[in-house]
Chain A
Amino acid sequence: MKRRSFIKKAGLATAGTFFAPYILPSGRLFAAAGDRIVNHVVLVLFAGGVRHQESVDQAYLTYQGANSGNIMPNMFSGAMPSSNLLYTPWNPIQGSSLASQGTFFKELEYAQGPTGHYNGHTAAITGNYTDVGTNLAINPDFPTVFEYYRRHNDPAKSAINAWWMSEGLGPYPALNYSKHGMYGPMYGANYFRPYSTFGNIGLDYLNNGLTLQPDDVGRLNSIKNFFDSNFDKSASDLPGIINNSTDKEAIHAFMKDVLNRTQNGTVDFPLPNGIPTYEMTGDLINIQYTWEVLKNFHPELTVINTFNLDTCHSDFTGYLRNMHKADYGVGWLWNKIQNDPVLQNDTIMICMPDHGRNDLPNNVYDANGLRAFDHTSDANSRRVFALIVGPPNKVNQNLSLGSAGNPVGQTIDIVPTIAHILGFYDQIPSGMLPGQVLTQAFI
């Protein structure tokens, strides 16, 4: 073959590779940006294992031999307990419950896999059930919602648009991207665990560092670039996501600002007026700093969890108290979102537990003599709920779906639902997501 001919054919073949149409599951050529319902989604994994009885059913102490009542007045409609109060009631911050401001899937199913926290989180974030029970501190097998979002949006989105904020460490930092070959860290989300990042450890080891002026940053980068040009390897194998330089500088500035304001006590607290800051829980700290991320970056996709309710393994009273506080935190967050000029009327918030808890108690009694509950994959621990809250012209308001024994939807439906809201569901290759879009929620 003549050299010129070879080069020409090779060039055409290469160009063809770049421009060859990609046949999507929808049957379309080329990915068209889908219609979005709104531009921002906040998923609150109301996690730690929430028993249907004390949440949706508003049983309070019914199963302990006493009265009923609604201890989640921001999320659900219903009268709060009037007696035997084991917690300090906080007046709801929402004028009407979140259930009335959107669609309430009263009975949703966590259908497969162990009712473990990692499994529940993974199902919600990847849209696939998992049986993984050991070696948890690894990234999930299936792509996360962050990776679908970043890979299948047109134009592509950088990581500053996707955030995962967890109450705890353990395996949870690994949920911002998967080890799936087609996706992975290049499509992952930014991640904070605020209790560490902005708590005492952050204040001790990340705050009050050397402040470089923009000119100095330029000098530093100039020298660093010279060093890097003399070395043939790149530290791209650092575990975790890598932001582009613009986003990295923005997040760097954000962290310094928030650490300073934390030190000065000027970060907003998700607490009712007059409630002291020692009432803050890990859940509320996570919500507090999630708001800082939301108001600074206005990310399109944010996932956050609560977790303190898991004290129910040994302390039912603490479980009730933490549930009441976390409910306030969710109401506070939605209130903030509705008062932000960018996020208001352009955000849908979804709240869903990771899984439920057992029907029958274990053998532990707390200090008040109340029975504790585990979550060991019985039928009751597979019962959860979901709230989809959003603008009245986008989300069906005051709609309640499902009942005991008649679930509507599964926890793996949340990822396709988020993809539907943000307009990239049709771009996800077929077979990746077994769940369905919860279309009932949308107008």
Chain B
Amino acid sequence: MKNIFLLVFFSTIIFSSCKKEVLKQNVYDNVYYEVTPVTLYTSNAEKNKQKSSLQYISILFSDLFNQNIPGSDLNNIGEAILSIGDKGLANQLILERFLTLPGISIPTQTQMQADLNAFITSTYQRFYLRNPTEYEKIYLKNLIQNDSNITPEIVYAAFALSNEYMFY
């Protein structure tokens, strides 16, 4: 009886030793990318590194076309960027070109208006790799609802040219 008690006692000590509780929440963006699950940021404060010009362009292309940019295109765009002194202006011109290319994955105006909440959430996830805060969701929703001339292209361009999109 005593041996059984000791066995139970030491087993309890061994198998119930301290263990740090790890809380990690991975939210996967399966719905929108459907290629590789992407871990989302929990807040934009986690972004503290600025993208290089080529990182910016290749990520932008992936976000707009759901595929990697071909190497030759990336090289040529790199040369175009190098040939312009104001890199922000270069990025803007390239974005505007991307937005007119066939194969771009962008909802129509009707689709956007049909479910604004889903559009806003999916666009935040697509460009910012995070969910919008409630404030952001409400503000942007009101903005779009109050101006029927805001198109998905304008919203996408605003995301792509924003400061947060320049960081990771």
Contact = CB atoms under 8 A, between A and B. Distances in A.
Q: Do A and B bind each other?
A: yes
B150 interface: yes
B86 A241 contact: yes
B44 A191 contact: no
Nearest to A166: B83
A204 interface: yes
Given A223-B140, A226-B140, A228-B163, A202 B87 contact: no
B33 to A, nearest CB: 21
Residue among B80, B99, B136 with the most chain A CB within 10 A? B80
A248 B86 contact: yes
A235 B163 contact: yes
A141 B22 CA distance: 50
B21 interface: no
Given A164-B85, A230-B136, A205 B77 contact: yes
Interface in B119-168: 133, 136, 139-140, 143, 147, 149-151, 153-155, 157-159, 161-164, 166-167
Interface stretch (B1-9, B23-31, B88-96, B109-117): B88-96
A237 B50 contact: yes
Contact of B88 (A176, A204, A233, A242): A242
Nearest to A255: B93
B84 interface: yes
Contacts of A208: 97, 100
B85 A223 contact: no
A207 interface: yes
Given A227-B162, A239-B53, A210 B99 contact: yes
Contacts of B162: 224, 227-228, 231
Contacts of A202: 80, 83
Interface residues of A, number: 54
A210 B153 contact: yes
Interface string B27-50: 000000000000000001101101
B143 A223 contact: yes
Contacts of A242: 86, 88
B89 A238 contact: no
Contacts of A222: 143
A209 B100 contact: yes
Given A210-B153, A222-B143, A169 B79 contact: yes
B17 interface: no
A215 interface: yes
A224 B158 CA distance: 5
B154 A235 contact: no
Interface in A310-364: none
Nearest to B132: A230
B11 interface: no
A216 interface: yes
B132 to A, nearest CB: 9
Nearest to A231: B164
Contact of A227 (B53, B133, B158): B158
A198 B95 CA distance: 17
Contacts, number: 155
A220 B147 CA distance: 12
B118 interface: no
Contacts of A176: 85
Residue among B153, B158, B167 with the most chain A CB within 10 A? B158
A23 interface: no
Nearest to A224: B158
Contacts of A226: 139-140, 143
Interface string B58-86: 00000000000000010011011011111
A161 to B, nearest CB: 13
A193 B79 CA distance: 10
A235 B167 CA distance: 8
A399 to B, nearest CB: 36
Nearest to A232: B45
Nearest to A195: B83
Contacts of B100: 208-210
A212 B100 CA distance: 12
B108 to A, nearest CB: 15
A220 B154 contact: yes
Contact of B48 (A207, A233, A234): A233
A259 to B, nearest CB: 9
A227 B155 CA distance: 11
A108 to B, nearest CB: 29
Given A209-B99, A223-B140, A223-B143, A231 B86 contact: no
Q: Give the 9 A-B residue pairs with the shortest CB-CB distance, closest first.
A: A209-B96, A191-B85, A196-B83, A223-B158, A235-B166, A227-B162, A193-B83, A209-B97, A231-B164
22 contacts: A176-B85, A189-B85, A191-B83, A191-B84, A191-B85, A196-B79, A196-B82, A196-B83, A201-B80, A202-B83, A206-B93, A206-B94, A209-B98, A210-B97, A210-B153, A211-B96, A212-B157, A215-B149, A228-B162, A238-B88, A241-B85, A243-B89
Interface of A: 159, 164, 169, 173, 176, 188-197, 201-202, 204-212, 215-216, 219-224, 226-228, 230-235, 237-243, 248, 251-252, 255
